[in-house]
C-alpha cells in the first residue's frame, strides 16, 4: 500500500500551463484540471495570471508564474519588473530562470545578485530558481543550488521543461544535498507518471512541476481504490 494520500500528493503539484501555443480554451481546460484535482498551484504564462486568478477564485489553488522564462538571459532589471507586474496581477509564487550562461561562466556574485533582486521584489512570496539542469554538469548544479540559497530564494528547481531534458533522481538528490533545510527542491520536466513523481519525492523534492497532474493523481486514485494504475499523458508535455 502506498504511504501517501491523494490529497498529500496533490499538495505537492504545481500544474504547468506554459506551452506558448495554448489558446484561451486550452488554458481553461488546464485550469479545470487543476481545480478538479485540487493541486497546490498552477504555473501559468505571465499574460494569463489575471484570468487564472479569476477562474480559480475560491478553489484553494494558488496561481504562480514564470520570470525570465525560459532562457534566464533577460537583465536583472527586466526580471524585477516582470516579478513586480506578476505580483500586481495576482501571482503568489514566482519561478525564475537563473542566468544559465553566468552560472556556467562562474560569475557567482552576479548570479546571487540576480536572484536576490527578484527575491527582494517578491518579498514574503515564494521564489523558486530554475537551474536548467540538463545544460549543467554536476559541479554547476551543486554550485547553482548553493547560490540559490545565498540569493535568498525559497526553492531550487530542476528545469523549465523546454531545454530538451528534465528532472532526474540523481540531480534532485544533488540539489537537496547542497542546500539547507531552509530551501526546498522542486522537480520539474518529465514528471509524467506516478512512479516518477514518487521517485522525485523520495529523492528529496517537495514540489513537482508537471502538466500530467490528472494522470499522476488518477493512477494513485486507482491504486488506492484497489484498481489498476492506468493513464497516458502527451509525451511532449512539460
What local confidence, expressed as pLDDT, does residue 2 receive?
66
Residue 41 and residue 125: Cα distance in Å, rounded?
Answer: 14
Q: Is residue 236 part of a domain?
A: no
What local confidence, expressed as pLDDT, does residue 227 receive?
61
Q: Is residue 164 exposed (0-12), middle (13-18) or buried (19+ Cβ within 10 Å)?
A: exposed
Q: Is residue 1 part of a domain?
A: no
**What domain range includes position 73?**
6-224
Q: Is residue 205 part of a domain?
A: yes
Task: Cite the beta strand spans of 49-203 per DSSP E.
Answer: 62-67, 93-97, 126-130, 155-157, 184-188
Question: For residue 108, what is the domain's CATH number?
Answer: 3.20.20.70
What local confidence, expressed as pLDDT, does residue 231 receive?
38
Indicate which residues carry an active-site annotation.
95, 157, 186
Q: Is residue 22 part of a domain?
A: yes
Residue 121 and residue 139: Cα distance in Å, rounded?
Answer: 29
What local confidence, expressed as pLDDT, does residue 164 receive?
84
> Grid cell 536548467 — which residue?
132
Q: What string of pLDDT tens digits covers the 238 residues of the chain?
A: 468 999 999 999 999 999 999 999 999 999 999 999 999 999 999 999 999 999 999 999 999 999 999 999 999 999 999 999 999 999 999 999 999 999 999 999 999 999 999 999 999 999 999 999 999 999 999 999 999 999 999 999 999 999 988 999 999 999 999 999 999 999 999 999 999 999 999 999 999 999 999 999 999 999 999 865 443 333 333 4
Total domains in the chain come to 1
Q: Is residue 237 part of a domain?
A: no
Q: Is residue 189 part of a domain?
A: yes
- pLDDT tens track for 146-182: 999 999 999 999 999 999 889 999 999 999 999 999 9
Q: Is residue 41 part of a domain?
A: yes
| pTM score above 0.85 | yes
Q: Is residue 230 part of a domain?
A: no
C-alpha dihedral (13, 86, 160, 149), degrees to nearest 10: -80
Which cell numbers in the block locate residue 65? 508564474
Q: CA distances (Å), 67 to each of 39, 57, 74, 117, 188, in order?
A: 21, 23, 9, 12, 16
Amino acid at each position: 500500500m502506498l504511504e501517501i494520500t491523494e490529497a498529500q500528493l496533490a499538495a505537492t503539484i504545481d500544474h504547468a500551463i506554459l506551452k506558448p501555443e495554448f489558446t484561451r480554451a486550452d488554458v481553461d481546460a488546464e485550469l479545470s484540471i487543476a481545480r478538479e484535482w485540487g493541486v497546490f498551484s498552477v504555473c501559468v504564462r505571465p499574460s494569463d495570471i489575471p484570468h487564472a486568478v479569476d477562474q480559480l477564485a475560491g478553489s484553494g489553488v494558488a496561481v504562480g508564474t514564470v520570470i525570465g522564462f525560459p532562457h534566464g538571459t533577460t537583465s536583472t532589471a527586466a526580471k524585477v519588473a516582470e516579478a513586480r507586474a506578476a505580483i500586481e496581477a495576482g501571482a503568489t509564487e514566482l519561478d525564475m530562470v537563473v542566468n544559465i550562461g553566468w552560472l556556467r561562466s562562474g560569475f557567482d556574485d552576479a548570479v546571487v545578485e540576480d536572484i536576490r533582486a527578484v527575491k527582494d521584489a517578491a518579498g514574503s512570496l515564494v521564489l523558486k530558481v530554475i537551474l536548467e539542469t540538463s545544460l549543467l554538469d554536476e559541479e554547476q548544479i551543486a554550485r547553482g543550488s548553493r547560490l540559490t540559497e545565498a540569493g535568498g530564494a525559497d526553492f531550487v528547481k530542476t528545469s523549465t521543461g523546454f531545454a530538451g531534458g528534465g528532472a532526474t533522481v540523481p540531480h534532485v538528490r544533488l540539489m537537496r544535498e547542497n542546500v539547507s533545510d531552509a530551501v526546498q527542491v522542486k522537480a520539474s520536466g518529465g514528471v509524467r507518471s506516478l512512479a516518477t513523481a514518487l521517485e522525485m519525492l523520495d529523492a528529496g523534492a517537495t514540489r513537482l512541476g508537471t502538466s500530467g497532474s490528472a494522470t499522476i493523481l488518477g493512477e494513485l486514485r486507482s491504486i488506492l481504490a484497489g484498481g489498476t494504475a492506468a493513464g497516458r499523458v502527451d509525451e511532449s508535455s512539460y
